[in-house]
């Protein structure tokens, strides 16, 4: 996929960074190594000091790119959803049949991320794992309403809207397209988490994928 748009850039809300990390080598290293370190330590134990140490840079330098680790997480997850949106729009754009379009969308959104490499400094496979483990923490905060007003969640919201619209195209009479779309996005992350840590709670696992479950669920809901 990366050969098609070599200069593609995902437009994350500029309030999420102090200085654009795409604008320098250090910024890119913060992002790429930050992804790996959050994955390794978990978000709670992750600190800028540790990241500075890992990339051989000074803690104070990292603060010139991101105000704090919460905004860093918002940046990474926004980037992830922007990347998903790009894949979704690109792949489904030319599909004429609404159900085929929606099915393709579900597959993209619920699949385990494979190597992509469109953005050399971002390891999308690890980023996907971070999103599964940490995305909820980015909005389950006391500051959510203000941050929402600041536009920090626009990409995610737009993505839910897109799915919602696809659902309406398939069945204009269905009463809960938004609820179903939001259940799909959030539920997909949840099923991936369960298959890793609570396998007894779901059929999703080695032989059945979250994609199959959600495809079935949505087909039944809209028929």
In sequence order, which residues have a C-beta less than 8 Å from that of residue 157 and are 6 or more positions away?
A: none
> Number of residues in contact with DNA, rule: CB under 7 A?
22
Restricting to residues 157-186, name those near its own copies by CB under 8 A. Answer: 157, 160-161, 175-183, 186
Q: Does 141 bind DNA (CB under 7 A)?
A: no
Whole-angstrom Cα Rg for the chain: 18
- Only one residue has tokens 């960074």, namely 17
Other Cβ atoms within 10 Å of 26 Cβ, number = 16
Q: Which helix (H) or strand (E) holds 164?
A: helix 154-170
Q: Does 68 bind its own copies (CB under 8 A)?
A: no
Of the ranges 17-25, 96-104, 170-178, 181-189, which one interacts with DNA (CB under 7 A)?
17-25
In a 10 Å sphere around its CB, with 0-12 CB exposed, 13-18 middle and 19+ buried, how is residue 77 labelled? Answer: buried
Q: Does 112 bind its own copies (CB under 8 A)?
A: no
Of the ranges 58-66, 72-80, 94-102, 207-215, which one interacts with its own copies (CB under 8 A)?
207-215
Which of 78, 80, 134, 166: binder of its own copies (CB under 8 A)?
A: 134
Q: Does 107 bind its own copies (CB under 8 A)?
A: no
The Cα-based distances of 172 to 103, 105, 112 in angstroms read 16, 18, 30
Which of 1, 24, 42, 67: binder of its own copies (CB under 8 A)?
A: 42
Which of 9, 14, 25, 140: binder of DNA (CB under 7 A)?
A: 25
The nearest distance, CB 158 to its own copies, in angstroms, is 10
Other Cβ atoms within 10 Å of 14 Cβ, number = 9
CA–CA gap between residue 91 and residue 33 (Å, rounded): 29
Q: Does 13 bind its own copies (CB under 8 A)?
A: no
**Contact positions vs DNA (CB under 7 A):** 19, 24-27, 45, 47-50, 56-61, 63-64, 67-70
**Contact positions vs its own copies (CB under 8 A):** 41-42, 44-45, 133-134, 136-137, 139-142, 144-145, 148, 153, 157, 160-161, 175-183, 186-187, 190-191, 193-194, 197-198, 200-204, 208, 210, 213, 216-217, 220-221, 223
């Amino acid at each position: 996929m990366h050969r098609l748009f070599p200069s593609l850039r995902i437009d994350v809300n500029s309030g999420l960074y102090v200085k654009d990390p795409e604008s320098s080598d250090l910024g890119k290293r913060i992002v790429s190594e930050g992804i790996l370190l959050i994955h390794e330590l978990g978000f709670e134990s992750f600190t800028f000091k540790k990241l500075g140490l890992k990339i051989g840079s000074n803690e104070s330098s990292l603060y010139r790119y991101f105000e704090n680790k919460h905004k860093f997480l918002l940046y990474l997850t926004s980037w992830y959803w922007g990347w998903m949106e790009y894949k979704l729009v690109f792949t489904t754009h030319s599909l004429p049949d609404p159900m085929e379009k929606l099915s393709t969308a579900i597959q993209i959104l619920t699949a385990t991320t494979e190597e992509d490499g469109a953005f050399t400094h971002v390891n999308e496979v690890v980023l996907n794992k971070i999103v599964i483990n940490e995305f909820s923490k980015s909005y389950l905060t006391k500051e959510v309403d203000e941050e929402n007003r600041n536009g920090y969640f626009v990409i995610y919201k737009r993505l839910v809207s897109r799915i919602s619209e696809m659902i309406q195209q398939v069945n204009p009479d269905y009463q809960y397209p938004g609820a179903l779309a939001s259940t799909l996005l959030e539920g997909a992350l949840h099923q991936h988490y369960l298959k890793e840590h609570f396998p007894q709670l779901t059929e999703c696992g080695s032989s059945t994928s979250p994609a199959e479950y959600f495809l079935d669920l949505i087909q039944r809901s809209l028929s």
